[in-house]
Structure 1
Amino acid sequence: MYLSLNYILAAIKKLNNVHPFIGITFLSCKRNHLPVGKTMEYPMDQKNKEFMDEVQKIIPNSAWYYQPYKSNAFVKKWVKEDYASSGLQSINTRSFQRCFIHESNSKIWGWDKNYISEISKKVIKGNKKIPLIDLAIWCFKFEEWDHAITLEEIVQQFISMYQITKQEIEILFTTTISGYPNCLAFQEEVVKAALLANNLEEPPDAKPDEEGTLSFLALDNVGPSDHMEMNLASRLNIITGDNGLGKTFLMDCSWWALTGTWTSNEARPKYNGKKSNIRFSIAGKMQHTKEVSISYDIQNLTWKRNGRQPTIPGLIVYACVDGSYAVWDPSKHYGVNKNRPSVFSGSQVWNGLDGSIEGLIRDWVKWQSSPTKYPFDIFTNVLSVLSPPDIGTLTSGDPIRIPEDTREIPTIVHPYGIVPITNTSAGIRRIVTLAYLIVWAWHEHKISSQFRNVKPDSRIVIMIDEIEAHLHPKWQRTILPALMEVQKVLSEELEIQFILSTHSPLVLASAESAFRQEIDKLFHMKLSLPNQDAILEEVDFIKYGQINAWLTSPIFNLRQARSQEAEVAIEEAKILQMTDNPDYEAVFHTHEKLLNCLAENDIFWPRWIYFAEQHGVEI
């Protein structure tokens, strides 16, 4: 067990009333057995620095130490790495000099016999003693404990480790535990340093976290909804809902939250006089998740973002529903290249855009003819993974020339022959384009990272609006699991966050074998009847099994997995069956409707035929 985040934060807040001498020098000297009434060679500054390294260095990549203790109004909560030999040294040798036996400018130190009373004069106001539990929680914030541990036992452990005497407790401290929130004091996992730091103000040398994925998005008075929010999963996020409720809108807002750019028209407020906000959090590799809130500037008709954000997103690929594609590479969108294009039309992805992308046709041929076969091998492997189940693996053939085109055109080998990529079906074109863009973006990112002498990202985001578009039902049933296998093809160490929208029960059924509640989430958009407002809900992922069961689930909300006419006829028939003494004419006309709508082997017939015959209808 570990101390909970809420208790650690409460202790930090309470330590704001404790003098830093107690929290650093006193505890360091006590733990290192500084003698009383006599001296020893004791490197005070070094020992205090070692203590601060252990207890107050909570952000590994920062040179600053968090200082939870009392300070004057002009000193912030972060102190420099020389604090032990500068500010704290001054406190030790001036403000608390009567507490020590010390030869000036030497390493000879010891406690004065009256050190307790001298400390009391400086740090105790009235009868308000220092709670040992506050110091204990702060010092033991990352320690592991037995499941049966209590706060009282932690206080006793602290007293033992720091050799707090009965006289010190009597005059300086209290063992009383109070002022903590009404919640669990312990949790199963250790509080991550990054999570703790996320709840505190940033150190002066804080750098943006990197390789960010979207962890939270909220829209207030924006687009089709008064309020909409989602806490995203780290791996798979599926968004469902009827047409016109805002799935694409939500996808575009997710892209904007990550990148600060729009793929087309930017989101607009509802113009009802209320304030409009977009709030979001991006989780980097250090798991910093500070929430950012951006308000709509009604005067300038835009969303104003400042230049700095706490987390820089990683590589992002977005397949838009209109056939365009967007790519965001942090190595290319910061500094001098921050305004370079990131959204490409379908034609530009295939034929190229000068200075930005060579295009699928040229890159495919170039990769295929490269002696190293990289990234062509990666591309063909991704194609293989994403291939449709009915016509087999999408295999690359030799490039060919076609009339009225000076380029060599890539080909696909089908069972019935070799087909130029330009002549393939819409479904194959979409999947080939997606495969190319993922591989191209990853390849370009690796090259750019090499130029900058940094490691490529290990976390990326892939967004696809209407993943089932142009795909045969057989392909819809396999595309999602196949897409999730792509990360293994690109790199074994790669983590991909997927944000997908779909209308297809086949896609959801295909997720049943891969969906994991701890890292995946399902969201559903629907119309709220009281105020006709679009709302977004996180729903439990239930394995319905058959496609018919998905169609009649709350996600698609069909009463019958049949035609609309058949659904109406069956509902009429059910009402008649529950009616006392139904009219012959009504039964006859309903029977005619059923004959017109239902197949001969429909499972509803046995239930209906007996009823109809009982009421005079000849079958």
Structure 2
Amino acid sequence: MISSLKLTNLGPVTPALDMQFTPRLNMITGDNGLGKSLILDTAWYALTRTWPHDDAPKAEGKPVLHGEPALPNHDASPNEAKIEAMVFGASPGSKSFEASYEAKLQNWKNSRGAPVKPGLVVYAQVDGAFSIWDPARDYGTENNDGDVPDALRLTTQNLWTGRGVCPGLIVDWENWRSNNNGAWKLFCSVLREFAPLKAPGSQDALGFLAPLPARRIRVRDASPTPMVRTIIGEVPITQLSAGAKRILSLAYALVWTWLRHREDAKIVGQPPAKNLVLLWDEVECHLHPTWQRLILPALMRVLSSELLTASGSDFQIIATTHAPLVMASIETTVNEQYDRLFDLDLEAETGKVVMTVRPWAKFGDANGWLQSPIFDEMSGGYSVEASRAMQAADDFMAGKIDSLPAGLGTAEDIHQALLKSLGGSDPWWPFWMSFYREKTGQL
């Protein structure tokens, strides 16, 4: 696991960003372009000493041949860029990690010596790809070839059709279902947690994503395709929506990683890892609000009760989000002692990225979170046109006539704009109507 991360002159960060992570849930919010994904990429690098998108084996003094390592801030000297972290794992205590950018090599040079075994590390990226680092398979490996890099990186296609040591979801679907080894039961159990109920009180607990036997769906098919039952009937997994595929991929990546790790740990004669670190970029990506309000609490249940069941096992999640509904979903789950909320902002005076640790608070529904200091959208979920008309109405009622925008200079102009942009039952109407009727003499 990782307890701290400090970035100096890196990406949009200048001069430095220092984060102290908690041992369970760490949520990162902030506008686009402020470094949320950068934090996840560099956390992965500190934990595994690889880049999440890089398939090139590392060699001392050799440049990165593929992938997208983090780069120095363009306003700073490249040699001033640093990544510092504290990582802890199976052995007692933590170990410091430091990497500096070598401008001549166009690459990062990090601490010598074997890295700490931080447990399993899974990175769910925003494009649907997964990077997986397994201490039983990847720790200290020296003889990797191009097909099995120093960490397993799976594109969306790889995850389904296989790559290297991972057979892929399509192959494992029938393998797990036909073998009585507990894998299929575990996979279905995880999906049961992730999938929303068809209806409250429904006996069909799997609701939307009930896994079914694979079958051929076209005459030219050489092999069967896994099927799931959805609200519209049986559907091949290849034809699922982007959101359903994301959920299915997450369930498979976690279950396969854990099962494969237990096998590999036994082969190399070491106990299974007790820790799992999940880095997750944009939790809400492709997900309908129904899923946004259940996925994080469900994920925490899965990690604690379905996968990491051994005594002393633990997980750490570092995730980014833009979704108020995701934040509202964890209000009753978070604990100040184990969970932390980081908010990135652009400081208007200096143009620098600043990080604030926000106290956990109950803002209620998604609209409450949208208007909170986390998202700073004080107009709530209204359209731009509605917000403009409502602000003009507020200013008009307060006598701030000089601040009214063009086209909204009279009570009638404002009233027509409100009629056009607000629904008839909107709770804001009473604030305006009594004033408007008095002003115009209309009933």
- What TM-score does the superposition give when structure 2 sets the normalisation length? 0.87
Equivalent position to 1:254, from 26, 43, 52? 43
Deviation at 1:416, TM superposition (A): 3.6
SS at match of 1:600: coil
Correspondence list, 1:381-396, <5 A: 381-390=189-198, 392=207, 394-396=209-211
Question: Does 1:554 pair with 2:343?
Answer: no
Question: CA contact under 8 A between 2:47 and 2:87: conserved in structure 1?
Answer: yes
Question: Which letter maps to 2:396?
Answer: L
Deviations 1:576-605 (A, max 9, x none): 111178999522211111111111111221
Question: Which letter maps to 1:610?
Answer: S
State the partner residue of 2:202: none
Question: Which letter maps to 2:261?
Answer: H
Question: CA contact under 8 A between 1:449 and 1:455: conserved in structure 2?
Answer: yes
CA distance, structure 2, for counterparts of residue 559 and residue 579 of structure 1: 21
**Which of structures 1 and 2 has the bigger CA Rg?**
1
SS at match of 1:290: strand
State the partner residue of 2:60: none
State the partner residue of 2:169: 360
Distance 1:338 1:531, change over 3 A: farther
CA distance, structure 2, for counterparts of residue 338 and residue 220 of structure 1: 33
Deviation at 1:309, TM superposition (A): 4.6
CA distance, structure 2, for counterparts of residue 474 and residue 344 of structure 1: 27
Distance 1:311 1:574, change over 3 A: same
State the partner residue of 1:436: 252
Deviations 1:451-506 (A, max 9, x none): 11211001111111111111110111011110001121113223111111111111
CA distance, structure 2, for counterparts of residue 359 and residue 587 of structure 1: 63
State the partner residue of 2:56: none
State the partner residue of 1:595: 419
State the partner residue of 1:564: 384
Equivalent position to 1:350, from 157, 160, 179? 160
Question: CA contact under 8 A between 1:216 and 1:230: conserved in structure 2?
Answer: yes
Question: Which letter maps to 2:196?
Answer: P
State the partner residue of 1:303: 108
Deviation at 1:225, TM superposition (A): 1.1
Q: Give the structure with the higher percent helix.
A: 1
State the partner residue of 2:214: 399
State the partner residue of 2:237: 421
CA distance, structure 2, for counterparts of residue 235 and residue 281 of structure 1: 16
Deviations 1:20-50 (A, max 9, x none): xxxxxxxxxxxxxxxxxxxxxxxxxxxxxxx
Deviation at 1:272, TM superposition (A): 3.2
CA distance, structure 1, for counterparts of residue 240 and residue 82 of structure 2: 44
Question: CA contact under 8 A between 2:213 and 2:226: conserved in structure 1?
Answer: yes
SS at match of 2:341: strand
Question: CA contact under 8 A between 1:566 and 1:598: conserved in structure 2?
Answer: yes
Q: CA RMSD in A?
A: 2.0
Distance 1:337 1:420, change over 3 A: farther
Question: Does 1:530 pair with 2:349?
Answer: yes
* Structure 1: 5+ residue stretches without partners: 1-212
CA distance, structure 2, for counterparts of residue 291 and residue 568 of structure 1: 51
Correspondence list, 1:18-33, <5 A: none
Deviations 1:346-374 (A, max 9, x none): 00110112x3211110011111111x242
CA distance, structure 2, for counterparts of residue 285 and residue 520 of structure 1: 21
Deviation at 1:614, TM superposition (A): 2.3
Question: Which letter maps to 1:614?
Answer: E
CA distance, structure 2, for counterparts of residue 440 and residue 480 of structure 1: 20
Distance 1:426 1:580, change over 3 A: closer
Question: CA contact under 8 A between 2:9 and 2:76: conserved in structure 1?
Answer: no
Correspondence list, 1:80-479, <5 A: 213-226=1-14, 227-264=16-53, 265-274=68-77, 275-309=80-114, 311-336=116-141, 339=144, 340-341=148-149, 342-353=152-163, 355-370=164-179, 372-390=180-198, 392=207, 394-403=209-218, 404-479=220-295
CA distance, structure 2, for counterparts of residue 254 and residue 603 of structure 1: 45
Q: Which has the higher contact order (CA 8 A, sep 6+)?
A: 2
Distance 1:216 1:473, change over 3 A: same
- What TM-score does the superposition give when structure 1 sets the normalisation length? 0.63
Deviations 1:385-443 (A, max 9, x none): 11123471522111101213212211112344221111111111111111001111111
Identity of paired residues, percent? 36
CA distance, structure 2, for counterparts of residue 414 and residue 585 of structure 1: 53
Question: CA contact under 8 A between 2:88 and 2:116: conserved in structure 1?
Answer: yes
Question: CA contact under 8 A between 1:389 and 1:478: conserved in structure 2?
Answer: no
Question: CA contact under 8 A between 2:4 and 2:86: conserved in structure 1?
Answer: yes
CA distance, structure 1, for counterparts of residue 309 and residue 160 of structure 2: 28
Question: How many corresponding residue pairs?
Answer: 405
Question: CA contact under 8 A between 1:385 and 1:486: conserved in structure 2?
Answer: yes
CA distance, structure 2, for counterparts of residue 419 and residue 257 of structure 1: 41
Deviation at 1:334, TM superposition (A): 2.6
Question: Does 1:573 pair with 2:393?
Answer: yes
Question: CA contact under 8 A between 2:136 and 2:270: conserved in structure 1?
Answer: no
* Structure 2: 5+ residue stretches without partners: 54-67, 200-206
Question: CA contact under 8 A between 1:216 and 1:281: conserved in structure 2?
Answer: yes
State the partner residue of 2:326: 507
CA distance, structure 2, for counterparts of residue 383 and residue 555 of structure 1: 31
Question: Which letter maps to 1:241?
Answer: G
Question: CA contact under 8 A between 2:29 and 2:344: conserved in structure 1?
Answer: yes
CA distance, structure 1, for counterparts of residue 283 and residue 257 of structure 2: 19
CA distance, structure 1, for counterparts of residue 258 and residue 400 of structure 2: 68
